[in-house]
Structure 1
């Protein structure tokens, strides 16, 4: 599989990251050996696209950890499909249609990182999915966001995915899109508030800032959960 070490994005958060472009159509199982990764048993019967995405994400993770002095560590997945990072490391992985990225940190005040890359939804899809992604009490803030950007639902969807990744390490259970409510927006960030208590460190009303940027019909969102 051809992997190009490039990224259309430079994240706002100040943590180690790596991004690649990859061509899933060129994927072969031998690529895992070439990139010093193991093909998980649960993926052995998966389609080539899924195998390629997983591999690209793990290559990014390995390269993002190298500046922290961590080498030869394979980021496996738990039963909940969440990446298993080395001790004292927080990180996140994302991929979307040929682009993958990983971000990691060993900062002691970081409890979780969330990143997500999404390609723009079609206009019809944005309309059809609003009821699944948005709460009714987000309508006002969402309308304001729509005045700033042409693909507001893609942005909110991606932001809520990043929030989930950033908080999961504390919550350790599934929570849906309705767990976070959009309460404000600016040219490069969104503000959300939790609609219920998810953890003793994440009470109802807890506010989260998600940074975002656009490039090449894609959006990158990123957030961090800091120790209070």
Structure 2
């Protein structure tokens, strides 16, 4: 990613926000903005300093949650400034009843944060119907033992093992991909759904693509296509996954696979 400036956003935050980077992901075409942040440097007035409104539900949260929310919304508002339909407008990303981001009209987007880093992905809704992003730290061996059968099936674990993936990489990737899928489809489904409704069916390490397949019952109930492509990036400390695209039957100025 290239380093980004704050554009129209203030940065008088006493060091809470660190390096900010921006790029258009060449694989998906979405605008991605990430920012480092330091929870220890957070204080409530950072919201005013950064021009981000603090919702009442966040005002009651612990400082760590307030800091994560602020960093995510800061990255989100900065990302929106790159979209022609939003550029130079004073926008806020609201929070829904289920803590989901509420995006301006004409925008699809998603936010994730972990261990002092927040990332946001956005795209015009004329180009894309659904978009979800997730970042996860690598799971520990203990966590893998605790969640393996909850977040994955034996077939999924065999699929990753056949590609030479270690257990912690495979399980973290599967978890992150399904989290991205949930974020991508929630606006259409408008309800929570679990890990069991999707299964990893194909994996290509060379192109960093994991294909997820919805159960037939869930797809039919919500009138959804069954297969979704997850683009992932493996880093030293974490995995990042993105699920995005257009629904079948809709004319689009661009088709994202």
Please tell me whether residue 78 in structure 1 is matched to residue 101 in structure 2. no
What is the aligned partner in structure 1 of residue 18 from structure 2? 4
Q: Deviations over 1:114-166 (max 9, x none)?
A: 10000111122112210110134434324325x13551101110000000011
List alignment gaps of at least 5 residues for structure 2: 1-14, 249-257
2:165 to 139, 144, 148: 148
Instruction: Give the 3-state SS of the residue equivalent to 1:151 in structure 2.
Output: helix
Q: Deviations over 1:163-194 (max 9, x none)?
A: 00111111111110001011111111111110
Distance in 2 separating the partners of 1:50 and 1:93: 14
Contact 1:9 1:215 in 2 (8 A): no
Distance in 2 separating the partners of 1:2 and 1:13: 30
What is the aligned partner in structure 2 of residue 27 from structure 1? 42
1:128 to 134, 138, 146: 146
Distance in 2 separating the partners of 1:20 and 1:216: 17
What is the aligned partner in structure 1 of residue 75 from structure 2? 60
Distance in 2 separating the partners of 1:177 and 1:7: 31
Tell me the TM-score normalized by structure 1.
0.91
Contact 1:109 1:227 in 2 (8 A): no
Q: CA RMSD in A?
A: 2.0
Tell me the TM-score normalized by structure 2.
0.82
2:54 to 39, 51, 56: 39
Out of 19-28 and 190-199, give the one that drifted further: 190-199
Out of 3-12 and 157-166, give the one that drifted further: 3-12
Distance in 2 separating the partners of 1:171 and 1:15: 22
Alignment of 1:1-228 (within 5 A): 2-6=16-20, 11=25, 12-69=27-84, 70=86, 71-145=89-163, 147-149=164-166, 151-187=169-205, 188-195=208-215, 196-198=217-219, 199-203=221-225, 206-228=226-248
Higher relative contact order (CA 8 A, sep 6+): 1
Instruction: Give the 3-state SS of the residue equivalent to 1:154 in structure 2.
Output: helix
Distance in 2 separating the partners of 1:14 and 1:74: 23
Instruction: Give the 3-state SS of the residue equivalent to 2:105 in structure 1.
Output: coil
Out of 136-145 and 43-52, give the one that drifted further: 136-145
Instruction: Give the 3-state SS of the residue equivalent to 2:129 in structure 1.
Output: strand
Contact 1:166 1:225 in 2 (8 A): no
How many residues are paired up?
Answer: 225
Q: Deviations over 1:73-129 (max 9, x none)?
A: 110111111110011110000000101011111141411101000011112211221
Distance in 1 separating the partners of 2:71 and 2:201: 34
Q: Deviations over 1:8-38 (max 9, x none)?
A: 9984321112100100111100000001011
- When residues 219 and 139 of structure 1 are mapped into structure 2, their CA distance, relative to the original with a 3 A threshold, is closer
